[in-house]
Amino acid sequence: MPLLLGLVITLAAVVAYTAYITHQLSGLRELQRDLTDRNRRDSLQLLRLQNDLNSLGLSMRDMLDTSQPYPLKAWSAQFQRIQRDLDDSLRLEEKLSVAHRTPEQRQYLDDSLAQFRAASDRTFARAAEGNEEAARAEIRASLQPRVAALSTAVARLLVANNESEQQAGERIEYIYDRVQRQVYLFLAATLIAIVLTSVYLIRSNRRLFVQISGLSEQRSELAQKLIATQESTLLHISRELHDEFGQILTAIGSMLRRAGRQAPEGSSLRADLQEVSEIAQSALDKVRSLSQALHPVTLDEAGLESTIDWYLPMVERQNGIVIHYDKMGTSYPVQSGAGIHIYRVLQESLNNVARHSGTKEAWIRLQFKPDRLGLEVEDHGSGFRANGRKGIGLVAMRERAELIGGAIEFVQLTGGGTLVRLWVPRDGIDSKV
C-alpha cells in the first residue's frame, strides 16, 4: 500500500509537470523546426552552389591546360549541366533562406550568374569557330573572375547562415535554461517520494534476485544434465551404428563378393552383384562417417589428442578451411568424459568460423600446462558476435566448460576476428564426467 500511494503521488506530479513542460517546449520545437532545420537545408543548397562553382573552376583549369587532348567545345555539355544545377540550387536557396537577404544581394547574385552565362556562351561560341586562343582569353578575362565573385558571394551567404544559426542557438539555450530551472524545482519536490519508493523497491528486488539466482542455478544444472544426456544418447547411437549396422553391412558386402565370384564370368548377375556390393560398401562408409560425427570412436580408444589430429584434416576437406595447428607442452592423457566436452567446444568453434567469420583460415592451439589444459581457436574474419548473438552453441560451450570445471571466453580481436579460449584444470581433465 505505501508503494502504491507513493507511485500515485509520483505519477500525478509527473503528469502535471509534463503538461507544463510540454507547454514550455512548444515554442522551442517550433523554433527548431522553422529555423534550425530550415537553415540546415539552406546551407546544404549553398554548399551545393559552392560545389558547382568548384567544379567549374576545375573545368576551367583543365580548359586552360594546353596539354589536354580535347578541344574546348568538349566542355560545353558539362558547363550547361552545371549551369542548370546552379539555377536550380539558387531557386531552392531563395525559398529556404532564413537569414535576411537584401534586394541588392539577390540582384548581385542574379546579375553575376547572368554575366557568367553570357561569358560562357561567348567562350564556347569562339571555341566552336575554332578560335581556341580567344576562347581561353575569355576564360581568363571573364569566366574565372565571375566564378570567383560567385564563390565569394556564396561564402558570405554561408557565413550569414552560420550567424543566423548561432542566434537561433542562443534563443534555444535561453529557453533550455528556463526549463532547466523548472526541472530542478520539480526534482526537489519529487525527491522524497522517489527515495521512499526506491527503498521499498530495493528490498523487493533483493528478494527477486535471490529467486532469480536460484532459477539460474537450476537452469545451469538442467543444461548440464541435458548435455550429459545428449552425449550419452549420441554415444549409444554411434556405437549401435558402428557395431550393429556396420557389422551387418560388412557381412552383406562379404556375402555379395562371395556370390559374385561364384557367378559366371561376364554374366549380368555377376555385374549386378558387383554393383550391389559397391552400394553396400558406400552405405558402410556413410554409416561409419555418421558414427564418427556423432561420437568419435578415437576419443575413447586413442584420446583427445589423436581425435583432434583426425578431426582437423576432415574439417579442412569438408569446409575448405586452412587450419594452422600447434601443440605446446608435454601431452598427457585426458579422460574421455572431459575430452568429449573439449572436443565439442572445438567442433562448435570451427563451425562458427565456417558459418560466420567469412574467412577460410583458422589457428588452433592446444596447450598442455602442468596445472591445466588450454584450447584456443582464432580467426581473422568478421567473427561471430559473442556478446550480441545469443546462439545455443555459445550457451552450450559455456555449460560444457563449467561441467568440467573450466572457463571459456570469447574475445573480439582488435584487427577483426574472434578468439575462443578454453582453460580446463587438471582436476577437470582427469574427471570422468
SS3 annotation, the chain: CHHHHHHHHHHHHHHHHHHHHHHHHHHHHHHHHHHHHHHHHHHHHHHHHHHHHHHHHHHHHHHHCCCCCCCHHHHHHHHHHHHHHHHHHHHHHHHHCCCCCCHHHHHHHHHHHHHHHHHHHHHHHHHHCCCHHHHHHHHHHHHHHHHHHHHHHHHHHHHHHHHHHHHHHHHHHHHHHHHHHHHHHHHHHHHHHHHHHHHHHHHHHHHHHHHHHHHHHHHHHHHHHHHHHHHHHHHHHHHHHHHHHHHHHHHHHHHHHHHHHHCCCCCHHHHHHHHHHHHHHHHHHHHHHHHHHHCCHHHHHCCHHHHHHHHHHHHHHHHCCEEEEEEECCCCCCCHHHHHHHHHHHHHHHHHHHHHHCCCEEEEEEEECCCEEEEEEEECCCCCCCCCCCCHHHHHHHHHHHHCCCEEEEEECCCCCEEEEEEEEHHHHCCCC
Q: Is the pLDDT of residue 287 over 60?
A: yes
Q: Is the pLDDT of residue 204 over 70?
A: yes
What pLDDT does 5 receive? 66
Q: How many CB atoms lie within 10 A of CB 7?
A: 13
CA–centroid distance for 141 within its chain: 54
Residue 408: pLDDT band with limits 50, 70, 90: very high
Largest CA distance in the chain: 113
What pLDDT does 386 receive? 44
What is this structure's pTM?
A: 0.47
Query: Cβ contacts of residue 433 below 8 Å, gap of 6+?
Result: 228, 337, 338, 341, 403, 404
2-200 CATH fold: Four Helix Bundle (Hemerythrin (Met), subunit A) (1.20.120)
Determine what percent of the chain is predicted with pLDDT higher than 70.
86
What pLDDT does 388 receive? 47
The C-alpha atoms of residue 109 and residue 145 are separated, in whole angstroms, by 14
Q: Residues 75-94: pLDDT tens digits? A: 788 888 888 888 888 777 77
Query: Cβ contacts of residue 302 below 8 Å, gap of 6+?
Result: none
Specify the higher pLDDT residue, 243 or 406. 406
Question: Taking residues 138-164, what's their average pLDDT?
Answer: 80
The domain locations on the chain are: 2-200, 226-290, 296-429
At residue 347's C-alpha, the angle toward residues 228 and 232, to 5°, is 20
Q: Residues 288-301: pLDDT tens digits? A: 677 766 777 777 78
296-429 CATH fold: Heat Shock Protein 90 (3.30.565)
What pLDDT does 365 receive? 95
Instruction: Assess contact for 353 and 420: CB atoms under 8 A.
Output: no
Question: In terms of Cα–Cα distance, which of 133, 172, 175, 137 is closest to 24?
Answer: 175
What pLDDT does 7 receive? 61
Mean pLDDT of the chain: 79
Question: In terms of Cα–Cα distance, which of 115, 173, 174, 163 is closest to 141?
Answer: 115
Q: Is the pLDDT of residue 385 over 70?
A: no
Burial per residue of 56-70, b for 16 or more beta-carbon CB atoms within 10 angstroms, e otherwise: beebbeebeeeeeee
Q: Is the pLDDT of residue 203 over 90?
A: no
The C-alpha atoms of residue 180 and residue 203 are separated, in whole angstroms, by 32
What pLDDT does 374 receive? 94
The C-alpha atoms of residue 120 and residue 81 are separated, in whole angstroms, by 12
Question: Taking residues 242-269, what's their average pLDDT?
Answer: 77
Q: Is the pLDDT of residue 11 over 80?
A: no
Q: Is the pLDDT of residue 234 over 90?
A: no
Q: How far apart are the first and last CA of the chain?
A: 51
What pLDDT does 366 receive? 94
What pLDDT does 339 receive? 87
At residue 409's C-alpha, the angle toward residues 405 and 413, to 5°, is 160
Residue 1: pLDDT band with limits 50, 70, 90: low
Same fold flag, 2-200 and 296-429? no
Q: Which grid cell sits at 38?
A: 530550415
Query: What letter represents residue 377's amino acid?
Result: V
Question: Taking residues 192-208, what's their average pLDDT?
Answer: 79
The C-alpha atoms of residue 234 and residue 307 are separated, in whole angstroms, by 16
